[in-house]
């Protein structure tokens, strides 16, 4: 008789959750590495190591997978960027913490996947862009809302910051051999501080 423990059998819910996670990660990786057009259901299934039939138990089509990737990405972005609120309640400290976390975000494959989906769906009537806008508003409120700054300065700084992130990400996609993100993030921090102070 061997003394080894019997293997623990996972429940169906656990197996479904594992498959879902594999599919979402595989989709984000495909989008980040291959782009939107090459991210086919077949490519996702192969990367995830599951069959299309297994995927269909949870996602009826590619759009449903993309919706889930967007939702998961937005949750992750909010968690990451909102953490900048832990910095001292001063413009300089919050701006520095926020931009540092933006640098982390830009290195995430899920962010590149998010940008790919947003770009392809920019005219989508289902409101994916509005979900992102609401997420950005929540992040901004958490990070800078307690500083007592004028609403106009906060709004302008928010628009500039997220437009800059979109641009930095886009340039990295177009010119992967050139890494200018560090310099661009330094510029973003300088301009962000000025906008929040109402200097610009």
Tell me how far CA of residue 44 lies from CA of 22, 48, 163, 197, in angstroms: 9, 6, 29, 46
pLDDT band for position 6 (cuts 50, 70, 90): low
Question: Is residue 196 very low, low, confident or very high in pLDDT (cuts 50, 70, 90)?
Answer: very high
The three-state secondary structure class of 65 is helix
> How would you label 140-172 residue by residue, b for 16+ Cβ within 10 Å and e otherwise?
beebbeeeebeeebbeebbebbbebbeebbeeb
Q: What is the CATH number of domain 61-197?
A: 1.10.357
Q: If you average pLDDT over each of 29-33, 168-172, 192-196, which comes out highest? A: 192-196
**Residue 169 in tokens:** 């990400």
Q: 184-193 pLDDT, tens per residue?
A: 999 999 999 9
pTM: 0.82
Q: How far apart are CA 176 and CA 197, in angstroms?
A: 34
Residue in the structure block whose two tokens are 């993309």 = 66
SS3 of residue 178 by DSSP: coil
Q: Which of 109 and 161 is assigned the larger pLDDT?
A: 161
Q: Return all residues near 94 (Cβ < 8 A) that are at least 6 apart.
A: 84, 85, 87, 88, 143, 144, 147
Give the model's pLDDT for residue 127.
Answer: 55
- Other CB atoms within 10 A of residue 34 CB: 14
What residues contact residue 102 under an 8 Å CB cut-off, 6+ apart? 81, 161, 165, 185, 188
pLDDT band at 160 (very low <50, low <70, confident <90, very high): very high
**pLDDT tens for each residue of 75-130:** 999 999 999 999 999 999 999 999 999 999 988 878 888 888 888 877 665 555 67
Q: Where are the domains of the chain?
A: 61-197
**Backbone dihedral region for residue 36 (phi beyond 0: left; psi -120 to 50: alpha; all else: beta):** alpha
């Amino acid at each position: 008789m061997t003394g080894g423990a019997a293997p623990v059998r996972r429940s169906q819910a656990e197996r479904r959750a594992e498959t879902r996670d594999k599919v979402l990660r595989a989709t984000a990786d495909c989008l980040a590495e291959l782009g939107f057009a090459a991210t086919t259901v077949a490519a996702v299934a192969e990367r995830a190591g599951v069959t299309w039939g297994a995927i269909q138990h949870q996602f009826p089509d590619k759009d449903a997978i993309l919706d889930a990737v967007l939702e998961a990405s937005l949750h992750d972005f909010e968690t990451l960027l909102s953490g900048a609120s832990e910095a001292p309640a001063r413009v300089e400290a919050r701006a520095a913490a926020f931009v540092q976390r933006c640098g982390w975000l830009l290195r995430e494959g899920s962010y590149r996947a998010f940008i790919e989906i947003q770009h392809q769906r920019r005219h989508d009537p289902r409101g994916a862009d509005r979900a992102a806008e609401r997420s950005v508003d929540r992040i901004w409120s958490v990070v800078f809302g307690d500083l007592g700054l004028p609403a106009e300065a906060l709004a302008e700084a928010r628009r500039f910051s997220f437009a800059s992130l979109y641009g930095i990400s886009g340039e990295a996609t177009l010119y992967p051999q050139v890494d200018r993100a560090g310099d661009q993030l330094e510029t973003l921090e300088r301009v962000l501080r000025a906008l929040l102070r109402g200097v610009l």
